[in-house]
Amino acid sequence: MNVVSLAKEPAAKSLAEARADFPILGQRVHGRPLVFLDSAASAQKPRAVIAAMVETMETQYANVHRGLHWMSERTTEAYEAARRAAARVLNAREAEEIVFVRNSTEAINLVAHSYGRGVLRAGQAVLISEMEHHSNIVPWQLLREARGTELRVAPVSDAGELDLETFERLLGDGKVGLVAITHMSNVLGTVTPAGRIVRMAHAAGARVLLDGSQAIVHRPVDVQALDADFYVFTGHKLYGPTGIGVLWARRELLERMPPFLGGGEMISEVTFERSTWATVPHKFEAGTPAIIEAIGLGAAIRYVEEIGYPAITAHEAALTGHALARLASIPGLRVLGQAEDRGGVVSFTLERVHAHDVATLLDRSGIAVRAGHHCAEPLMRRFGVDSTARASFALYTTMGEIDALAEALAKVREFFR
Amino acid sequence: MFDDLAELYQDVILEHSKRPRHGQRLACFDADAKGDNPMCGDRVQLFVRHAADGRIEDVGFEARGCAISVASADLMAEVLRGRTDEEARQMAEKFRELARTGKLAEGAAGAADEALETLQPLAGVHGYPSRVKCATLPWHALIAALQGRKEAGSE
């Protein structure tokens, strides 16, 4: 995909209007209009999400699946509607394949605990990539210590793409039981060839978990077309609230997996001798869930569906192309990763200026970026850097904001000369 | 454009961050410690050599970090020479106060007073809550080194 050729102001009027749906974007920071380029860390929330959560609390709030009364029934219906929305946005076969969790980190830990300890055996391997977020590294290290599974890492090329040849070789001995890989890098913006990854893994007898924390914000996801086994994402990056995320898994896998947490909601019958488990997905939702947050996530998904992925993808491709072109003209600025297929995340270093200093100076210009290792230390090491600054784009980002970033960066360079 | 940043990035700080005078491992040292800020990836490795009379004779460091943390390490190395460990600890206390509040604690006395004048340019970090830990990281490493610990966390 040649994103640079798309670098003109997108015509989509609906997106220009959409910006007005995010009240926070009217704020000023240090006396300047807010330029929020840190959406990959957490996205801002549209009024539809805020209103859905407030309305729930003001008009119908009660616990779910418990009370035989009007409030509880209404709230249960809204909570389950959010589950259906999550199933729809992933094109899952059925809503029962959606497990609500706190975030992607919890979803991956759930799989590592339940599938990893319950199904994988010592001597089997988990294969990840060099560009994983810590949340898709550490749970597998914990599993390795607990169960004696091996952890294998597929390398990333200089361009920031998955080295598919080595990836396939690492699958070669048939020991890999699970491939756990990002669908889009939170540092490089690289969109991984998930369909091919799944085909290669399945051919080698391995299941596949895709970390869609970033991908689902920028691309339509179809877990059936991908033929994936597990897919995880978090609500707060998809314009929803914090505290709610999604684990999707094939029903037969969820049914085979032992529970993760024990408690209320997840049981069928409890005696002091033994307990039996509820059916999926409730088996994995112990305790009172994040009800209001789930309803907020449902509203966020409906909001994204209204705008539509084609418009979002085209808009972000245009923004990314424009950003890469503008940043390329700043001397001493190096962008990490030049993947062919990439989303709206651009990490960079500036010669002789540490990323934190870049971030502080940009902040004083009203521009919010993230600086640091982005919870991907092994990837930082791979590219020989300690930290980077990262600008990330969302459906509400404008070309003018990219220009503001480029102009401010040129001044940062001057400041530290 | 960055006029309001002059208090944080004073010339002294920019100068020390670009050309630190003590930014190398000492050939010979008797105490050392690593300071790590895992949230942002800043790291400083500190080397201290004491003279026969127990006073600090030389301090060197290897740092990877922002302008603030490097300048702070360099200024710290400068003011520590000739101090006893106890004086160094008192300075660390006072510096942390300076970084957090922008002001010196009551009763700053004696040797610490002069030293804190040298460190004064770093007082600007108090207006940047997320950057205070950049300035204090080398001092945490110092305390760890003087206590014989090899590693220090940040705040």
Encode pLDDT of A253-309 as tens digits: 999 999 999 988 888 889 999 999 999 999 999 999 999 999 999 999 999 999 999
Closest-CA residue of B relative to A415 is B2
Closest C-alpha to B116, from B91, B138, B86:
B91
Q: Could you read off the pLDDT of A169-218 as tens digits, one per residue? A: 999 999 999 999 999 999 999 999 999 999 999 999 999 999 999 999 99
Tokens 């190398």 — which residue? B24
Q: Which residue has the tokens 């929305």?
A: A85
Whole-number pLDDT of residue A6: 42
Q: Please judge whether A371 and B40 are an interchain contact, meaning their C-beta atoms are less than 8 angstroms apart.
A: yes
Q: By three-state DSSP, how is residue A165 classified?
A: helix
> Residue A247: how many CB atoms within 10 A of its CB?
27
Nearest to B134 among A356, A361, A373 (CB): A356
Q: How confident is the model at residue A12 (pLDDT cuts 50, 70, 90)?
A: very low
- ipTM of the predicted structure? 0.85
Chain B residues with CB inside 8 Å of A385's CB?
Answer: none
Mean pLDDT across chain A: 94
Average pLDDT estimate for A7-19: 64
Q: Is pLDDT above 80 for A314?
A: yes
Edge-first strand listing for the sheet containing A98-101: A98-101, A245-249, A230-234, A207-211, A176-182, A125-129, A150-154
Measure CB to CB from residue A411 to each of B2, B68, B134 and give the nearest one: B2
Optimal mutation site among A350, A360, A416, interface B, most CBs of chain B within 10 A:
A360
Task: Tell me how many residue pairs between chain A and chain B have CB atoms under 8 A apart.
Answer: 52
Q: Do residue A354 and residue B65 have CB atoms under 8 angstroms apart?
A: yes
Residues of B in contact with A413 (CB under 8 A): none
The pTM of this model reads 0.91
Element (H, E) at A410: helix A399-415
Quick check: B41 and A377 CB within 8 A?
yes
Residues of chain B contacting residue A414, judged by C-beta atoms under 8 Å apart = none
The per-residue pLDDT for range A367-398, each reduced to its tens digit, is 999 998 899 999 999 999 989 999 999 999 99
Q: Does A360 touch chain B (CB under 8 A)?
A: yes
Q: Which CATH class is domain B3-152?
A: alpha beta
Domain limits, chain B: 3-152
B43 chain-A contacts, CB cut-off 8 A:
386
Residue to mutate among A30, A357, A387, with most B CBs inside 10 A, is A357
DSSP for chain B reads --GGGTTTS-HHHHHHHHS-SS-S--SS-SEEEEEEETTTTEEEEEEEEE-TTSSEEEEEEEEES-HHHHHHHHHHHHHHTT--HHHHHHHHHHHHHHHHHSSPPTT--THHHHHHHHHGGGGGGGG-GGGHHHHHHHHHHHHHHHTT-SEE---
Q: How far is B102 from chain A (nearest CA, A)?
A: 18
Looking at residue A379, its amino acid is L
Q: Which residues of A are catalytic?
A: 375
From first to last of its 155 residues, chain B has per-residue pLDDT tens of: 677 788 889 889 999 999 999 999 999 999 999 998 877 778 999 999 999 999 999 999 999 899 999 999 999 999 999 999 999 999 999 999 999 999 876 655 555 677 888 999 999 999 888 889 999 999 999 999 999 888 886 55
Contact flag A416-B42 (C-beta cutoff 8 Å): no
What is the token pair recorded at A239? Answer: 């314009």
| Res. A9: pLDDT tops 60 | no
Instruction: Spell out which chain B residues touch chain A, with contact meaning CB-CB distance below 8 angstroms.
Output: 1-2, 4-5, 8-9, 14, 18, 39-43, 64-68, 128, 131, 134
Q: How far apart are CA A176 and CA A201, in angstroms?
A: 8
Q: Which fold has domain A3-33+309-415?
A: Aspartate Aminotransferase, domain 1 (3.90.1150)
Question: Are the beta carbons of A30 and B65 separated by less than 8 Å?
Answer: no
Confidence of residue A11 (pLDDT cuts 50, 70, 90): very low
Test A408 with B131 for CB contact under 8 angstroms.
no
* CATH number, domain A50-305, options 3.40.50.2300, 3.10.520.10, 3.40.640.10, 3.30.70.100: 3.40.640.10
Interchain pair A356, B65: CB under 8 A: yes
Phi and psi (nearest 5°) for A65? 60, 20
The DSSP 8-state label assigned to residue A134 in this structure reads G
Q: What integer pLDDT is reported at residue A116 of this predicted model? A: 97
Residue A386 contacts B where some CB pair is shorter than 8 Å = yes
Q: Of A15 and A177, which is predicted with more confidence? A: A177
Q: Do A386 and B8 touch (CB under 8 A)?
A: no
In chain B, what residues touch A30 (CB-CB under 8 Å)? 4
- Residue ranges per domain, chain A? 3-33+309-415, 50-305
Confidence of residue A66 (pLDDT cuts 50, 70, 90): confident
Contact state of A386 with B41 under an 8 Å Cβ cutoff = yes
**Closest of A318, A327, A349, A322 to residue A336, by C-alpha:** A349
